[in-house]
A and B are shown apart, each in its own frame.
Chain A
Amino acid sequence: MLQEESDLSLVIAQIVQKLKGSNLYAQLERQAWASLQRPEIKLESLKEDIKEFFKISGWEKKLQNAVYSELSVFPLPSHPAAPPEHLKEPLVYMRKAQGSWEKRILKSLNSMCTELSIPLARKRPVGEQKELLNKWNEMGTDEPDLSLFRPVYAPKDFLEVLINLRNPNYENGDSLSFRTHLGLIQVPLKVKDIPELKEFFVELGLTTGQLGIDDSTQVPPELFENEHVRIGQKVLAEQDSAAAQQYIRQGSPTALRAELWALILNISSQPEDILYYEQLKTNVIQHDLLVDSLIYKDVKLTASNDDYYFVFEDYLYQVLLCFSRDTSVLGHFAYNSASPPKSYIRGKLGLEEYAVFYPPNGVIPFHGFSMYVAPLCFLYHEPSKLYQIFREMYVRFFFRLHSISSHPSGIVSLCLLFETLLQTYLPQLFYHLREIGAQPLRISFKWMVRAFSGYLATDQLLLLWDRILGYNSLEILADCPKSIVP
């Protein structure tokens, strides 16, 4: 009991600390000062009156949403004496594997750099800046010569690394038993089994209505759809993040989805946010990064060739180029097993004072990265809002899909979960695929790494991502391929 209480107070302290530096805090303070003018605020009961005022005016709800947002992202409570690496990743062998994978990526990037003799970053001449500013809304028309650039890595390279992951403390033994895991992933991580999944995903049960199934043409809308839409509108009117997250587990109506996601991710387009985005845009205009060419190449190779997303090509550049300049993204490395690569000013290699993170947001894009953004273009059309939503989705969910960690939503656990489910419940299929040399994970890995973007029709994909937001977990991605593979 005492331990729980002290854990809780630790968590509270950390959240308060985090929120104190946020814009919301400044706004609340301003509101509190302004409210002193109001007649109902009396000096004797100042604290209660202001609290009451916050409740009525909706500010308490905003604070609640902010706290809920922090809780969703906050890593699991750990021992107060745990070093920061443990927050990133508690298992040593995982950390080591991630470290060596990062080294490989950097080596690949550096060698491309020297081969093409292109600097990692350079300042654009004024003429070029002007040109880019004019073309900002149609960067897709630009056709730079990208033939010499290659993506730094592709999902299949990453899969090879995961296959070779081993826990040095775990002795498998050579004898085969019915417990032997026949899949590619050979690390002993705890993943949920079907009864646990059933409990976790209780709202996806057969007896509960679902959008995407129970709103099809044969089912009369009175049975489920109408009521569900009505509740959705109510949730939006209340502006309650937690309620929205619960609601969306059954899927979101098309017309409400954009607002619901913004509510769950606690994104509201404040003038400061728009200004911040404009600042990032200025950074893009002033400096050219090598990573930009990688982004261009990726968009041209993937999203531009997609039947659904080719239309949004220009938005993708506007989001991804700004994303790579956004240093606020560095914050997520506190709970990401990955670490941002460092670059040293010429001639000062190894001297920490001359180190900068490269790219500024610490994220090196890989082949298919732009597909994380593409489906969002369906919902958000204003660039700064689209940007915020994507950034939040990335630092909450997508980063786990390409870093090595033991987190239950990390890609390693997802792969293991997928293979375990398949082996347990469709053993003949699993065995057959293994015999013909087509390990099922090799097929489904790329689907999971991209969170199915580009592999599922957009309406299906958005319903799937509804559930990711609703359950605050990526485990649904491992469950999905089980029904597709057969």
Chain B
Amino acid sequence: MILEKDPKPWNQNYKGHGLSKGKEREQRASIRFKTTLVNTLMDVLRHRPGWVEVKECQEASGPRVADTPVVQREPKGSRQPGFVEGDWDFYWCDVSWLRENFDHTYMDEHVRISHFRNHYELTRKNYMVKNLKRFRKQLEREAGKLEAAKCDFFPKTFEMPCEYHLFVEEFRKNPGITWIMKPVARSQGKGIFLFRRLKDIMDWRKGTAGKKLTSSEAQPARSAVNPPGGHDARSSEDQKDEIPVENYVAQRYIENPYLIGGRKFDLRVYVLVMSYIPLRAWLYRDGFARFSNTRFTLSSIDDQYVHLTNVAVQKTSPDYHPKKGCKWMIQRFRQYLASKHGPEAVETLFSDMDNIFIRSLQSVQKVIISDKHCFELYGYDILIDQDLKPWLLEVNASPSLTASSQEDYELKTCLLEDTLHVVDMEARLTGREKRVGGFDLMWNDGPVSREEGAPDLSGMGNFVTNTHLGCVNDRKKQLRQLFRSLQSQKKASS
């Protein structure tokens, strides 16, 4: 009987025991995991009963972890020539490893890895826009304008420099509005700037016309955060000289964001995709709202700190107090909205967000290589405007798993634990579950209904999706009940 253990508080150290438990288990004697990430993920993996950490041997990259238990290497059959043998069952890898090694790594049937090969179709801003536009056209052809309009959750975006002329056309149609320029491949708010005049980007464009994206990513160490008041075409040119040219997108800036306490915020929501064909996606109940540290005003587009709510950028703002963390759990946010606008408006908003998740995944469904070994935990960034309409800012394939506070630590460790439950290396689930811990099955090759036993039909008037974002997350209790009933089912059938 495997008991669920709670992760220890973050200031304690707990050594993984690596004991194999399972004579009664059909599958592996122990599950060998590998990861280069530390903090929350490492804590969760080490605590998982029956999971053993693999020492870094073959690859030169990655630090040696001194107190890792020695790996148990099971003798394999004849090795395939030219292939690197994977000596792990589970790898939470980073995207650079994936890019370099996925194509020549042999994986047994049971092996799981935490990314899809070409996830960037969803997470790179320019690809995502392309895929979404294409999907929208297809929907319009097949189901009409109304249906296609449901894809209008993405602010008007143009790839630069190739769509520069289209962008200028749109720009001239709407004089005076603000636009935001984002590099396609960087994260944590780097390289982003706002502008209102074509002049601000004309010089930038002259230098980049005709240059294509290089295969290597921009060095993550370089920070493009300028001191306040320093955003002009000249500073972006300086950056250009030092790093390889990359693609940007110009996007319409949402000028009427919903404000709480006069501050702008965005929402971070977690979606777990187990497969694309068929599309199976789970939505986590917890998430958070990240607040900007300063009050919102359009007159200060030079002040990067106001407009970019990524915690990474906030950390450099002079007002930042590390104790605060500037975050609200999404339950708090949901309650606040309900007391201000009433429960119906909140229901509408959250089901509009469900729509964003599903349609964005559908738009890349045919493009992403759906390998059964792959799963992915996405971090969706959503912005709400004053009319309570949600907008998709971006999708992250590697959402930050570093904890900024005790509350944050608990959220992330529970999120990761539940992810591992759904991935189910221990082969405990039946596959018919609609909820595992804090995850609710949102899409299972079709919409999933909240009602028990009801047929999963769409288009019905009283259909309620099985999502509970911002609702009570009594995951411990649910997991206890779930595993108890699975245990008794197993006993009954054996």
The reply to whether B323 and A308 form a contact with Cβ atoms under 8 Å apart is: no
A337 to chain B, nearest CB (A): 35
- Asked if A458 and B332 sit within 8 Å, CB to CB, the answer is yes
- Whether the pair A138, B262 counts as a contact (CB closer than 8 A) is yes
A286-325: CB near B (< 8 Å → 1, else 0) gives: 0000000000000000001101101111110000000000
Q: Per-residue 0/1 for A411-445: is the Cβ within 8 Å of any B Cβ (1 yes, 0 no)?
A: 00000000000000000000000000000000000
Please name the residue on chain A nearest to B344 by beta carbon. A255
Which of the candidate stretches A277-285, A377-385, A399-407 sits at the interface with the other chain?
Answer: A377-385
CB proximity of A391 to chain B, nearest CB, Å: 20
Task: Verify if A267 is at the interface (C-beta below 8 Å from B).
Answer: no
Known: A307-B407, A308-B328, A381-B340. A314 touches B294 (CB 8 A): no
Chain B nearest CB from A100 CB (Å) reads 37
Q: Is the CB of A313 within 8 A of B261?
A: yes
Say yes or no for B196: interface residue by CB 8 A criterion: no
B319 CB-CB contact with A under 8 Å: yes
Q: Pick the contact of B339 from A258, A304, A308 — CB < 8 Å?
A: A258
A310 touching B339 in the complex, CB below 8 Å, given contacts A217-B472, A458-B332: no
Q: Is B22 an interface residue (CB 8 A)?
A: no
Task: Flag if B474 contacts A305 (CB, 8 Å).
Answer: no
Q: Are A314 and B339 in contact (CB under 8 A)?
A: no
Instruction: State whether the Cβ of B480 lies closer than 8 Å to any Cβ in chain A.
Output: no
Contact with A along B333-353 (1 / 0, CB 8 A): 001101110110000000000
**Distance between Cα atoms of A320 and B358 in the complex (Å):** 46
Contact of B291 among A254, A311, A377, A459 (CB under 8 A): A311
Q: A217-B472, A305-B323 are in contact. Are A311 and B339 (CB under 8 A)?
A: no
Closest-CB distance, B450 to chain A (whole angstroms): 12
Q: Which residue of B lies closest to A311 (CB)?
A: B261
Given contacts A137-B295, A254-B339, contact A305 B321 (CB under 8 A): yes
Q: A218-258 toward B: CB 8 Å interface, digit per residue (1/0)? A: 00000000000000000000000000000000000011011
* With contact pairs A255-B338, A458-B335 given, residues A307 and B325 touching in the complex (Cβ less than 8 Å): yes
> What residues of chain A lie closer than 8 Å to B327, measured between beta carbons?
307
In whole angstroms, how far apart are the Cα atoms of A258 and B328 in the complex?
21
- Answer whether residue B324 sits at the interface, using C-beta atoms and an 8 A cutoff: yes
Q: How far, in Å, is B349 (CB) from chain A's closest CB?
A: 14
A208 interface hit (Cβ, 8 Å): no
Q: How far is the CB of A194 from chain B (nearest CB, A)?
A: 31
Query: In the complex, are the beta carbons of A311 and B328 less than 8 A apart?
Result: yes
Given A137-B295, A138-B295, A141-B319, A311:B263 Cβ within 8 A: yes
- Answer whether residue A216 sits at the interface, using C-beta atoms and an 8 A cutoff: yes
- List the A side residues contacting B209 at CB < 8 Å: none
Number of interface residues of A (CB under 8 A): 27
Given contacts A138-B295, A217-B472, contact A377 B261 (CB under 8 A): yes
Residue of chain B at shortest CB distance from A139: B295
Q: Which residues of B contact A312 (CB under 8 A)?
A: 261
Q: Mark B236-260, 1 if CB is under 8 A from A, else 0.
A: 0000000000000000000000001
User: Is B423 part of the binding interface, using a Cβ–Cβ cutoff of 8 Å?
Assistant: no
Q: Which residues of A contact B295 (CB under 8 A)?
A: 137-138, 140-141, 314
Say yes or no for B181: interface residue by CB 8 A criterion.
no
A315 to B328, CA, bound (A): 18
Contact check, A310 vs B324: say whether CB atoms are below 8 A apart: yes
Do B343 and A255 have beta carbons less than 8 Å apart? yes
Cα A304 to Cα B320 with chains together (Å): 11
CA distance A173 to B140 in the complex (A): 90
A136 to B339, CA, bound (A): 26
CB 8 Å contact bits of A433-469 with B (1 = contact, 0 = none):
0000000000000000000000000110000000000
- Say yes or no for B326: interface residue by CB 8 A criterion: yes
Distance, CA A305 to CA B328, complexed state (A)? 13
Q: Nearest residue in A to B340 (C-beta to C-beta)?
A: A381
Contacts of A459 in B (CB 8 A): 335
Closest to A457 in B: B332
Contact A255 B472 (CB under 8 A): no
Chain A residues with Cβ below 8 Å from B261 are 311-315, 377
- Cα of A311 to Cα of B289 in the assembled complex, Å: 11
Which B residues touch A307, using CB under 8 A?
324-325, 327-328, 405, 407
Contacts of B339 in A (CB 8 A): 254-255, 257-258, 378-379
**Nearest Cβ in chain B — how far from A386, in angstroms?**
12
Min distance, Cβ B319 to any Cβ of chain A, angstroms = 7
Residues of B within 8 A of A313 (CB): 261
Tell me if B332 and A254 are in contact (CB < 8 A). Answer: no
| C-alpha gap A16/B15 in the complex (Å) | 75
Q: How far is the CA of A127 from the CA of B125 in the complex (A)?
A: 47
Alpha-carbon distance A305/B340, docked complex (angstroms): 24
Query: A308, A310, A378: which has the most chain B beta carbons within 10 Å?
Result: A310
| The one of A140, A310, A315 that contacts B326, using a Cβ cutoff of 8 Å | A310
Contact partners of B474 in chain A: CB under 8 A = 217
Return chain A residues, CB-CB under 8 Å to B324: 304-305, 307, 310
Query: Can you give 5 contacting A-B residue pairs, CB < 8 Å?
Result: A257-B339, A304-B324, A307-B327, A314-B262, A458-B335
- Not counting A307-B324, A311-B263, a sample of 20 additional A-B residue pairs whose C-beta atoms are within 8 angstroms of each other reads A138-B262, A138-B295, A140-B295, A141-B294, A141-B295, A254-B338, A254-B343, A255-B342, A255-B343, A304-B321, A305-B321, A307-B325, A307-B327, A307-B405, A310-B324, A311-B260, A312-B261, A313-B261, A315-B261, A381-B340
- 9 nearest A-B pairs in the assembled complex, by CB-CB distance: A311-B261, A138-B295, A255-B342, A312-B261, A254-B339, A254-B338, A311-B260, A310-B324, A217-B472
